[in-house]
Structure 1
Amino acid sequence: MSNSENEQEVLVVISKLKNYIRSTAGMNTAGNVASKLSGIVRNLCDQAIENAKSDGRKTVMEKDFS
């Protein structure tokens, strides 16, 4: 998978996201929310990967997200 394909991939379960928003706030979810949220998740993961690398690990751990 190329980097551009990787950046387009949705990283969240849309049905769960929509259900959460509807059950929490009674609101609908716009179609472009999944791609925006996936970008945020992707950025968080990239930073966690860098944190693990800087600690000399090959495993991303919970602490890498703080």
Structure 2
Amino acid sequence: MVKVAVRERIEGLAVADDFYDSLDEAVGELLSDAARRAEANGRKTVQARDL
């Protein structure tokens, strides 16, 4: 994730350094789950509905 984009989305709040590591992990899990769902449905394209 781009730190600038994160800061823009949560405007007005400070962001702890360890937040980004946790965010990267959560996004990675989300992407892996979406990829598994697409494959389980016989698709090679991950779509919004896989989230």
Structure 1 length normalisation: TM-score? Answer: 0.71
Give the match for residue 30 of structure 1.
Answer: 16
Q: Where does residue 52 of structure 1 map in the other structure?
A: 38
Task: Point out where structure 2 has 5 or more consecutive residues left out of the alignment.
Answer: none
2:36 and 2:9 map into 1 onto residues whose CA distance is 30
What is the aligned residue count?
A: 51
Identity of matched residues, %? 29
TM-score relative to the length of structure 2 = 0.88
Structure 1 residue ranges without an equivalent (≥5)? 1-11
Greater than 4 Å deviation, 4+ residue runs: none
The CA deviation string for residues 12-40 of structure 1, in whole angstroms up to 9 with x for no partner, is 1111102222x2xx211011111101110
What is the aligned partner in structure 2 of residue 42 from structure 1?
Answer: 28
